[in-house]
Amino acid sequence: MTAAFPTPAADESQRLLSPEELEAALRDIGARRYHNLHPFHRLLHDGKLNKDQVRAWALNRYYYQAMIPVKDAAVLARMTEASLRRVWRQRIVDHDGDHPGDGGIERWLKLAEGVGFARDYVLSTQGILSATRFSVDAYVHFVSERSLLEAIASSLTEMFSPTIISERVAGMLKNYDFITKDTLAYFDKRLTQAPRDADFALDYVKRHATTPALQRQAMAALTFKCNVLWTQLDALYFAYVAPGMIPPDAWTPGTGLVAEAPAVVQAAGTGRIEAGHVPRLPRGVRMRFDETRQKHVLLAPERTFDLDDNAVAVLSLVDGQRSVADIAVLLGQTYAADPKVIEADILVMLNDLATKRVLER
Ligand SMILES: O=C(O)c1cc(C(=O)O)c2c(n1)C(=O)C(=O)c1cc(C(=O)O)[nH]c1-2
């Protein structure tokens, strides 16, 4: 197969590099081609992107994260030595975790949720740019089809990742008010995992690339991988920065997000309800007796909530005039109970309804 990226010349007369020279040549590839140099990363780290552009990055990169263990399982499958597999399998554990809720993929989901995405939307991978998918899938195919040496060499971009991670975390925390340390927790572990993985891979490549042809293959594999990372950022830049051409079916700002609940509640004037507040039903919400089900319900646009007897007693007194304290006094008289105890109970109930946006003050 002819490849669309640099491949070793068939010429075996190339000089054999010493292991140190080979390492220097590999580092030189990173210095010229690693994705820290991409304009999209420069914008991301310098705080020059808007929230939706950061979201596009988080969403698309989820696909890379999700496929890394698939890639590593393909590499593992090519290893005939148990000693190698024992080391490599740690990469899969790092990403998948040992338990549900654990591992790098889960931490990336937290990052995506931290910038506003609904978890299920991210998991669906709907909305990922085709170019992201093509690049990432090409990486998985590469390690399945090429030699083990090339497969391992292609992971060597990780030699360069600690620097970019430190720069990214510091830059994003400083420049974006919607980014917190918790959101970026994914990167904490990478700072130790990446050098450990890269050291092992580099040592393997230096020991096994024992002919000029093999050395060139290793270099070409690293170049290919730099291109896998670079093209993902090209695609993001094209779709979400300039010219801003979002392909059909790719994520568009405003979709796949969790409703920003506190903002909505505040905007509707429904912040936390306290004893002195006068609660009322928002426009479009009313209490009704459902004859078929013989039950009181709260009807809201496109939603219905069943009400228990206590809720009906309270809501019957919600008239837009009485405060919560007034309602508690009336109920105290009706049920011969301490109004303060009633007040505490009904505040919990009223605030629950306010969170569901069927009550306001
Ligand atoms: O944040 C980054 O810039 C960055 C870069 C790379 C890389 O250089 O391939 C990886 C990661 N992160 C990463 O988180 C990760 O799990 C990872 C696995 C691999 C790989 O090739 O096996 N690279 C990377």
Q: What is the pLDDT of residues 209-266, one digit of tens each?
A: 999 999 999 999 999 999 999 999 999 999 999 999 999 999 999 999 998 755 444 4
Task: Measure 255 CA to ligand 1 centroid, in angstroms.
Answer: 27
Looking at residue 266, what is its pLDDT? 46
Q: What domains can you pick out in the chain, each with its CATH number?
A: 19-241 (1.20.910.10), 286-356 (1.10.10.1150)
Report which protein residue has its CA nearest ligand 1's atom 12: 161
Is the model's pLDDT at 303 over the cut of 70? no
Q: Closest Cα to atom 16, ligand 1: which residue?
A: 65
pLDDT at 8 over 60: no
Assess whether pLDDT exceeds 80 at residue 267: no
Q: What is the pLDDT of residue 265?
A: 43
**pLDDT score for 185:** 94
For 104-116, how does the pLDDT look when each residue is reduced to its tens digit (9 = 90+)? Answer: 999 999 999 999 9
Predicted pLDDT at 11: 53
For residue 161, the CA-to-ligand 1 centroid distance in Å is 7
Instruction: Evaluate: CB of 96 within 6 angstroms of ligand 1.
Output: no
The reply to whether ligand 1 has any atom less than 6 angstroms from the CB of 158 is yes
Q: Where are the beta strands (DSSP E) in 114-170?
A: none
CA angle 94/98/101 to nearest 5° reads 90
Mean pLDDT value across the chain: 89
Contact 232 CB / ligand 1 (< 6 Å): no
How would residue 10 be classed by pLDDT, with cut points 50, 70 and 90? Answer: low
CA distance 150 to 145: 9
Q: From the CB of 165, is ligand 1 less than 6 Å away? A: yes
Q: How far apart are CA 222 and CA 209, in angstroms?
A: 13
Measured from the CB, is residue 41 less than 6 Å from ligand 1? no
pLDDT of 299 > 90? The answer is no
Residue whose Cα lies nearest atom 22 of ligand 1: it is 155
Mean pLDDT across the stretch 198-209? 98
| Dist. CA 167–CA 43, nearest whole Å | 12
Distance in angstroms (rounded) separating the CA atoms of residues 357 and 346:
16
At 3 the pLDDT is 46
- CA count, 13 A, side-chain hemisphere, 38: 24
What's the confidence (pLDDT) of residue 263?
Answer: 46
> Average pLDDT, stretch 83-90?
98
Comparison of pLDDT for 14 and 260, the residue scoring more: 14
- The predicted model gives 4-25 an average pLDDT of 76
Q: Closest Cα to atom 2, ligand 1: which residue?
A: 161
**Taking 50 as the threshold, does the pLDDT of residue 29 lie above it?**
yes
Dihedral of the CA atoms 120, 72, 139, 67 (nearest 10)?
A: 0
Q: Is the CB of 68 under 6 A from ligand 1?
A: yes
Ligand 1 center to 246 CA (angstroms) = 25
d(CA 22, CA 205): 9
User: At residue 1, does pLDDT exceed 50?
Assistant: no
